[in-house]
């Protein structure tokens, strides 16, 4: 092949040039005729399209890309789709702010609606209008994401692109739901549920987070039947009207006399049973606790296990219900109506405290504390517990099987398995999948309405699999027509949508086109790799295992590669207010994509990593060095002789190639163990030594200073090493390696075979010894303040025979590179010693 090497190679413009070429050539296209055993399938994380990309995204996706590129060079057909997770609350919230709207499902669709913009009071719009806006905004965001992914050189196959709201995803999600429902693994139930009062939706255990909040113990006086006071500490006095019992530990002698009796609540005068339960802790507060429906999850346990009634007071809007619950004394009910109805929880707490002070039923003042409170991770107010009808997937019944799946999975790094195990062991209930929201995959479910127009939830009407995806709010169920919607004897749609995890848990099924394309699915599922961050082990990873286990009885993938987080240089979260946030695109433009990838790939899996522009500068330097050394190797004067066989290589050249073989073996083993950072680090170390020592050593010979035959050996070795190094670097620095490869090779380096160790029979100790001597010569010159080109009158190397033999094998190269007039070898005991006399 004709060589075309630019005079002044540079990084500028490589990204645009090669991204376009790869797209045009289909370099990364998945070959779906490949048999399963030659396919390597990756279950890509569909990023939440929230409108802003973070460097952390570029970080973890680069890790995955290095593996994809490695496997491709190993001859696998790599199935590397790309997707966006656009459905769900993140998008809804962004749409509300961006367009100045809010969704009101009771409104009718307005085909001519145009959003008002973000200023002013939000405009209420119909659900179909709202979904349209979601899709519009998501499309804009996705364009920006794709531009970054292309710029950073992700080798995904854009023809296998999906979003979690697209038609195929909705079909897969609804199909998966119907299959689990048919098998009894999905069910609907009315139950106390953790509830976000701002978003007005149920939330799942996986979406909780604890936050330390100020609170206060209030010591309340309940009244026992014998006229004595019973003191109870609570942090939530506003729930007093919801009190259904007082509980103490069965072994707590202080309260033994009360067990089985009733006590009367302060202010509201409800008669509630005094009960015992082992969860009550004698050392907390007074040892007696009030049970409310519902103040926390322990209340739910007590309520269920002690068969207590429900006296709900907090509504779905986070305010106290307009009417008092059953069971209050008449005066108490009136007190509730005139003082508490309609108040927020905070307002109600203040009012109840005032009332308690007035009635003398609070002992002392509230004692401030801070305590952990459960929040929805995206929410601003503490979660309440309200009773509502929800949909669930069964997980508790499968806990042991799910633990077993976690044990089968190969985790990288291995210790991430314990996070999964802790999560599964700590599950407290089945997986809650329904959300009272708008932009999500709807349940393919309707309910019959009885003659009074009331829905029958016990026997839902289901869509057929052939009809999927359906929207029950606009499609009629089988056997009905639209005119019967909402009419007695007709039907009503299930109003909820599925949580986004209920769909994204199917990414292997979605990307593999489960049931839509059985041939493809059989070639890619179960997949090989799940790459993701450690923060979503309890959500995405867990959920995907649940779905695969319940549907197929197997793991969805064999390996999980868990990336760490990106930290600010000062170990803190980056913040926009500090003005130090750089978008990935800024960095890609400033340092070049290969440089940013170098920084990302330098970090091992599972390790949180400091954002470090210094590393990007080093990566940029490495990329430039690759261009320059390529230019050197490829523009050496070409002789006339035909290529000699490997047996004719000079010992120094064979020695270098032997070390290269060891490097190839090491880098390969590192990649096989999902340790991309080690593969990069070893390759980089070898590369710099190759440039600084080997190239300097043989440079003059390669130019022909010792004759054409010996020059040829150097050139062959240099080219072989360059070829291997470009391929070893290709997974990390795809642009600069492709550029250099294109100067002298056909096809893409990313389709070239991964290097395999040759059999040059070289002795690594030759180059090793020569480097030591060369270093001593350099030191002597530097210490004399002389140029490295300065002449050396005499160099004497002394040492044991074996080492001297190695030096002798490189003696002409040492004379040339060191400008040494006289090189003497003297056998002696001990280690190698070098004496240098400058001219």
Partner RNA sequence: ACGCCCGUAGCUCAGUUGGUAGAGCAGAUGGCUUACAACCAUCAGGUCGGCGGUUCGAGUCCGUCCGGGCGUACCA
Q: Does 276 bind RNA (CB under 7 A)?
A: no
Query: Among candidates 208, 209, 204, which has minimal Cα distance to 500?
Result: 204
Q: Does 281 bind RNA (CB under 7 A)?
A: yes
Closer to RNA at the Cβ: 205 or 504?
Answer: 205
Binding positions for RNA, 413-442, rule CB under 7 A: 415, 418-419, 422-423, 425-426, 428
Q: Does 516 bind RNA (CB under 7 A)?
A: no
Closer to RNA at the Cβ: 257 or 415?
Answer: 415
Closer to RNA at the Cβ: 72 or 419?
Answer: 419
Closer to RNA at the Cβ: 135 or 618?
Answer: 618
Closer to RNA at the Cβ: 297 or 388?
Answer: 297
Contact 42/528 with Cβ under 8 angstroms? yes
* Residue 221, burial from CB neighbour count under 10 angstroms (0-12, 13-18, 19+): middle
Which one of the spans 116-124, 133-141, 616-624, 801-809 is the region binding RNA (CB under 7 A)? 616-624
E-assigned strand segments in 443-514: 445-449, 455-462, 491-493, 497-498
| The only residue of 575, 685, 756, 824 in contact with RNA, by rule CB under 7 A | 685
Smallest distance from the beta carbon of 287 to RNA, in angstroms? 7
Q: Does 829 bind RNA (CB under 7 A)?
A: no
Q: Does 353 bind RNA (CB under 7 A)?
A: no
Smallest distance from the beta carbon of 193 to RNA, in angstroms? 15
Smallest distance from the beta carbon of 446 to RNA, in angstroms? 35
Closer to RNA at the Cβ: 69 or 781?
Answer: 781
Distances (CA, A) of 319 to 323, 356, 441: 12, 20, 29
Q: Does 124 bind RNA (CB under 7 A)?
A: no
Closer to RNA at the Cβ: 123 or 536?
Answer: 536
Smallest distance from the beta carbon of 419 to RNA, in angstroms? 5
Distance between CA 673 and CA 682 in Å, rounded? 14
| The only residue of 225, 279, 589, 826 in contact with RNA, by rule CB under 7 A | 279
Smallest distance from the beta carbon of 683 to RNA, in angstroms? 12
Looking at the chain, the number of H-run helices and the number of E-run strands are 25, 31
HEC profile of 372-436: EEEEECCCCCECEEEEEEEEEECCHHHHHHHHHHHHHCEEECHHHHHHHHHHHHCCCCCEECEEC
Give the phi and the psi of residue 821 in degrees, each rounded to 5.
Answer: -75, -45
Task: State the Cα torsion 335-339-345-351 to the nearest 10°.
Answer: -100
Q: Does 389 bind RNA (CB under 7 A)?
A: no
Which one of the spans 432-440, 688-696, 728-736, 802-810 is the region binding RNA (CB under 7 A)? 688-696
Closer to RNA at the Cβ: 81 or 287?
Answer: 287
- Scanning the structure block, which residue is given the tokens 């002389």? 786
Closer to RNA at the Cβ: 210 or 465?
Answer: 210
Query: Among candidates 436, 493, 430, 552, which has minimal Cα distance to 195?
Result: 436
| The only residue of 81, 241, 285, 472 in contact with RNA, by rule CB under 7 A | 285
Q: Does 782 bind RNA (CB under 7 A)?
A: yes
Q: Does 576 bind RNA (CB under 7 A)?
A: no
Binding positions for RNA, 169-208, rule CB under 7 A: 205
| The only residue of 200, 351, 410, 778 in contact with RNA, by rule CB under 7 A | 778
Smallest distance from the beta carbon of 218 to RNA, in angstroms? 8
Which one of the spans 125-133, 384-392, 625-633, 802-810 is the region binding RNA (CB under 7 A)? 625-633
Query: Among candidates 612, 693, 684, 613, which has minimal Cα distance to 656?
Result: 693
Q: 48: Cβ–Cβ under 8 A, 6 or more apart, which residues? A: 85, 88, 90
Distance between CA 585 and CA 147 in Å, rounded? 9
Q: Which two tokens stand for residue 237?
A: 């006095």
Q: Does 214 bind RNA (CB under 7 A)?
A: no
Q: Does 371 bind RNA (CB under 7 A)?
A: yes
Q: Does 580 bind RNA (CB under 7 A)?
A: no
At 365 the three-state DSSP class reads: strand
What residues are paired with 233 via a beta bridge? 219
Which one of the spans 133-141, 352-360, 371-379, 544-552 is the region binding RNA (CB under 7 A)? 371-379
Q: Does 257 bind RNA (CB under 7 A)?
A: no
| The only residue of 3, 254, 284, 454 in contact with RNA, by rule CB under 7 A | 284
Smallest distance from the beta carbon of 531 to RNA, in angstroms? 18
Closer to RNA at the Cβ: 510 or 633?
Answer: 633
Contact 509/525 with Cβ under 8 angstroms? yes
Binding positions for RNA, 698-717, rule CB under 7 A: 699, 703
Task: State the Cα torsion 303-307-308-309 to the nearest 10°.
Answer: 110
Buried-exposed string 342-362: b where 16+ CB fall within 10 A, e elsewhere: ebbbeebbebbbebbeeeebb
* Residue 366, burial from CB neighbour count under 10 angstroms (0-12, 13-18, 19+): middle
Number of residues engaging RNA in binding (CB under 7 A): 79
Closer to RNA at the Cβ: 289 or 441?
Answer: 289
Q: What is the distance, to the nearest Å, from the Cα of residue 772 to the centroid of all Cα atoms in its chain?
A: 46
Q: Does 833 bind RNA (CB under 7 A)?
A: no
Smallest distance from the beta carbon of 514 to RNA, in angstroms? 29
Distance between CA 178 and CA 183 in Å, rounded? 9
Q: Does 612 bind RNA (CB under 7 A)?
A: yes
Q: 714: Cβ–Cβ under 8 A, 6 or more apart, which residues? A: 650, 653, 698, 701, 702
Q: Does 644 bind RNA (CB under 7 A)?
A: no
Smallest distance from the beta carbon of 622 to RNA, in angstroms? 9
Q: Which two tokens stand for residue 54?
A: 């973070």
Q: Does 363 bind RNA (CB under 7 A)?
A: no
Q: 741: Cβ–Cβ under 8 A, 6 or more apart, which residues? A: 726, 730, 748, 749, 752
E-assigned strand segments in 284-383: 289-292, 362-376
| The only residue of 93, 394, 631, 794 in contact with RNA, by rule CB under 7 A | 631
Query: Among candidates 363, 276, 272, 378, which has minimal Cα distance to 325?
Result: 272
| The only residue of 159, 607, 709, 824 in contact with RNA, by rule CB under 7 A | 607
Closer to RNA at the Cβ: 259 or 418?
Answer: 418
Contact 62/151 with Cβ under 8 angstroms? no
Q: What is the DSSP letter of 320?
A: B
Q: Does 381 bind RNA (CB under 7 A)?
A: no
Contact 712/637 with Cβ under 8 angstroms? no
Buried-exposed string 561-596: b where 16+ CB fall within 10 A, e elsewhere: bbbbebbeeeeeebeeeeeeeeebeebbeebbbbbb
Q: Does 639 bind RNA (CB under 7 A)?
A: no
Closer to RNA at the Cβ: 630 or 713?
Answer: 630
Binding positions for RNA, 664-683, rule CB under 7 A: 678, 681
Binding positions for RNA, 554-573, rule CB under 7 A: 571
Binding positions for RNA, 438-477, rule CB under 7 A: none
| The only residue of 535, 708, 791, 835 in contact with RNA, by rule CB under 7 A | 535
Binding positions for RNA, 228-247, rule CB under 7 A: 232-236, 247
Smallest distance from the beta carbon of 755 to RNA, in angstroms? 19
Smallest distance from the beta carbon of 652 to RNA, in angstroms? 15
The enclosing H or E element of 741 equals helix 734-744
Contact 348/340 with Cβ under 8 angstroms? yes
Smallest distance from the beta carbon of 34 to RNA, in angstroms? 32
Q: Does 637 bind RNA (CB under 7 A)?
A: no
Residue 44 C-beta-side C-alpha neighbours within 13 Å: 30
Binding positions for RNA, 787-816, rule CB under 7 A: 787-789
Q: Does 221 bind RNA (CB under 7 A)?
A: no
């Amino acid at each position: 092949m004709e060589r075309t090497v630019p005079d002044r190679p540079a990084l500028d413009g490589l990204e645009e040039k090669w991204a376009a070429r790869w797209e045009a050539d289909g370099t990364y296209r998945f070959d779906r005729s490949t048999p399963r055993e030659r396919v390597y399938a990756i279950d890509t994380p569909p990023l939440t399209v929230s409108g802003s990309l973070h460097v952390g995204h570029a970080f973890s996706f680069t890790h995955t890309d290095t593996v994809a590129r490695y496997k491709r060079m190993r001859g696998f057909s790599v199935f590397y789709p790309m997707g966006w997770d656009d459905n769900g609350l993140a998008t809804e919230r962004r749409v509300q702010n961006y367009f100045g709207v809010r969704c009101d499902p009771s409104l009718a669709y307005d085909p001519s609606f145009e959003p008002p913009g973000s200023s002013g009071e939000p405009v209420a719009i119909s659900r179909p209008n709202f979904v349209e806006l979601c899709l519009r905004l998501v499309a804009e965001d996705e364009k920006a994401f794709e531009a970054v992914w292309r710029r950073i050189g992700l080798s995904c196959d854009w023809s296998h692109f999906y979003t979690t709201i697209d038609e195929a995803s909705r079909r897969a999600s609804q199909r998966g739901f119907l299959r689990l429902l048919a098998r009894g693994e999905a069910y609907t139930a009315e139950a106390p549920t953790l509830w976000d009062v701002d978003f007005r939706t149920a939330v799942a255990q996986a979406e909780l987070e604890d936050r330390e909040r100020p609170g206060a113990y209030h010591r309340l006086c309940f009244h026992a039947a014998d006229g004595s006071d019973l003191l109870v500490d609570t942090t939530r006095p506003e729930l007093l009207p919801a009190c259904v019992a007082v509980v103490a530990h069965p072994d707590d002698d202080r309260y033994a006399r009360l067990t089985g009796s009733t006590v009367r609540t302060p202010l509201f005068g409800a008669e509630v049973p005094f009960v015992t339960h082992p969860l009550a802790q004698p050392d907390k507060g007074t040892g007696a606790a009030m049970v409310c429906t519902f103040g926390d999850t322990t209340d739910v346990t007590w309520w269920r296990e002690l068969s207590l009634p429900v006296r709900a007071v907090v509504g779905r809007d986070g305010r106290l219900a307009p009417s008092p619950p059953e069971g209050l004394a008449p005066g108490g009910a009136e007190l509730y109506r005139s003082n508490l109805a309609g108040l927020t929880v905070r307002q109600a707490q203040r009012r109840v405290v005032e009332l308690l002070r007035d009635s003398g039923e609070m002992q002392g003042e509230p004692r401030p504390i801070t305590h952990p409170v459960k929040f929805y991770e995206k929410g601003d107010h503490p979660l309440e517990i309200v009773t509502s009808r929800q949909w669930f997937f069964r997980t508790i019944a499968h806990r042991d099987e799910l633990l077993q799946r976690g044990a089968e999975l190969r985790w990288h790094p291995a210790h991430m398995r314990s996070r999964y195990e802790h999560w599964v062991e700590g599950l407290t209930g089945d997986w809650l999948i329904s959300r009272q929201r708008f932009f999500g995959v709807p349940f393919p479910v309707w309910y019959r309405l009885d003659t009074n127009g009331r829905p029958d939830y016990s026997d839902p009407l289901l869509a057929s699999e052939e009809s999927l995806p359906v929207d029950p709010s606009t499609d009629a169920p089988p056997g009905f027509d639209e005119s019967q919607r909402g009419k007695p004897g007709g039907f009503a749609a299930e109003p909820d949508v599925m949580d986004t995890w209920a769909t994204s848990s199917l990414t292997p099924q979605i990307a593999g086109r489960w049931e839509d394309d059985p041939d493809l699915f059989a070639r890619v599922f179960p997949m090989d790799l799940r790459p993701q961050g450690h923060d979503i082990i309890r959500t995405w990873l867990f959920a995907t295992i649940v779905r695969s286990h319940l549907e197929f009885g197997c793991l969805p993938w064999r390996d999980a590669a868990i990336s760490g987080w990106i930290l600010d240089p000062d170990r803190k979260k980056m913040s926009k207010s500090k003005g130090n946030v750089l978008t990935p695109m800024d960095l890609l433009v400033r340092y070049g994509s290969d440089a940013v990838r170098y920084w990302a790939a330098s970090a091992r899996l599972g390790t949180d990593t400091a954002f470090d522009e210094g590393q990007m500068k080093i990566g940029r330097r490495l990329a430039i060095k690759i261009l320059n050394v390529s230019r050197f190797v490829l523009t050496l004067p070409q002789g006339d002789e035909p290529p000699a066989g490997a047996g004719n290589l000079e010992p120094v050249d064979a020695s270098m190639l032997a070390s290269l073989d060891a490097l190839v073996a090491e880098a390969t083993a590192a990649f096989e163990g999902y340790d991309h950072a080690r593969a990069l680090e070893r390759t980089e170390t070898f590369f710099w030594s190759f440039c600084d020592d080997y190239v300097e050593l043989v440079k003059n010979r390669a130019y022909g200073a010792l004759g054409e035959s010996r020059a040829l050996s150097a050139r062959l070795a240099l080219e072989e090493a360059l070829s291997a190094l470009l391929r070893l670097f290709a997974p990390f620095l795809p642009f600069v390696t492709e550029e250099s490869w294109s100067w002298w090779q056909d096809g893409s380096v990313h389709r070239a075979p991964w290097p395999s160790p040759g059999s040059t029979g070289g002795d690594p100790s030759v180059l090793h010894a020569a480097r030591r001597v060369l270093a001593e010569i350099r030191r002597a010159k530097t210490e004399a303040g002389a140029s490295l080109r300065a002449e050396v009158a005499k160099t004497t190397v002394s040492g044991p025979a074996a080492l001297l033999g190695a030096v002798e094998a490189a003696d002409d190269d040492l004379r040339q590179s060191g400008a040494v007039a006289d090189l003497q070898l003297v056998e002696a005991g001990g280690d190698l010693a070098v004496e240098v006399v400058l001219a």
